[in-house]
Amino acid sequence: MKVAVIFGGKTAERDVSLKSGALVLGALRARGVDAHAFDPAEKGLEALIAGRYERAFIALHGRFGEDGTLQGALEWLGIPYTGSGVLASALAMDKLRTKLLWHAEGLPTPPYEVLGKESNLEAVAKRLRTPLFVKPASEGSSVGMTKVRAAAGLDEAYALAVNYDPVVIAEKFIDGPELTAAILGDDVLPVIRIETPREFYDYEAKYAAGGSTHILPAALKPAQADRAMKLSLEAHRVLGCRGVSRADLRFNGDEFYMLEVNTQPGMTGTSLVPELAAHSGRSFGELVKWIVEDASCNR
């Protein structure tokens, strides 16, 4: 099959996308797939038609790649694509709508408030209690996100986040380990624990060499690991996700709290989903081949 590996783009996560896409492209070609690089920053969608691509592997991160925009265009063109569909992609990208859905379904997620220009930030800090996270509602890779330890830092954190999205969320910090689970179809891979010397698992911790340590499997009791995996799969399903996704959560010793689901997880050398797949016996080449074979339309 002829596959367009779509990566790069014009978003804040372009550099990460270039790394993911290059590795995916190489792995697919190594397994005999007729794969071609396609950067939307350099080519228009009409080039997808002219290229007669049979499938699209989406390796874009952030806006226009994992928010349903590109998925809708590919639906219109009738080109099967990897990952979640239009609605699930849009919902998962929007942290506010994600939380509203999870609350409705009874899934645990940290308390939060939506911030605006007229918000009394000091009152918000009193209600949620510091430390807390301030983040744009629709960005990935911790772009625009700040950990705030005192109410005095909220103004600056809000000013940074609103540069990326007009909707900004203040979310209570859950003190405990950060965990991630990967979902492939109906399967949940073992939970991984993330530790970093940085303030939190930010952009540098995610992608810089030595920015974090991954403990796999996570140091959880069997019942706890089972609970984390079940919650991750349910969070994925509630949003209507398909194919591969990555669920992030925190554990305070008593309960797990869902943070977000990423429908286009990174495929770089430091990314979590390839590491989880390798731990479960699936090579990077096998992983990306599975993902592209799972591509479809009308989701």
Q: Specify the long-range contacts of residues 203-206, CB closer than 8 Å, at least 24 apart.
A: 203/141, 203/142, 203/143, 206/141, 206/142, 206/266, 206/270
Q: Are the CB atoms for 88 and 240 separated by under 8 Å?
A: yes
Is 298 catalytic? The answer is no
Is 20 catalytic? The answer is no
The CB-side HSE value for 79 (13 A sphere, CA atoms) comes to 29
Which amino acid, one-letter code, is at 277?
A
CATH of domain 2-83: 3.40.50.20
Domain ranges of the chain: 2-83, 91-108+175-293, 112-172
- Decide whether 2-83 matches 91-108+175-293 in CATH topology: no
CA 75 to each of CA 7, 49, 56: distance values in angstroms, whole numbers, following the listed order:
18, 12, 11
| pLDDT per residue of the chain (299 residues) written in tens, 0 to 9 | 899 999 999 887 888 899 999 999 999 999 999 999 999 999 988 999 999 999 999 999 887 888 999 999 999 999 999 999 999 999 999 999 999 999 999 999 999 999 998 899 999 999 999 999 999 998 766 788 999 999 999 999 999 999 988 999 999 999 999 999 999 999 999 999 988 766 655 556 555 566 678 899 898 999 999 999 999 999 999 999 999 999 999 999 999 999 999 999 999 888 899 999 999 999 999 999 999 999 998 75
Is 207 catalytic? The answer is yes
State if pTM tops 0.95.
no
**Which position among 63, 207, 232, 299 bears the catalytic label?**
207
Give the sign of the dihedral formed by CA 92, CA 69, CA 41, CA 43. positive
**Which position among 20, 141, 212, 271 bears the catalytic label?**
141
Is 13 catalytic? The answer is yes
Q: Is the CATH number 3.30.470.20 carried by domain 91-108+175-293?
A: yes
* Secondary-structure class of domain 112-172 per CATH: alpha beta
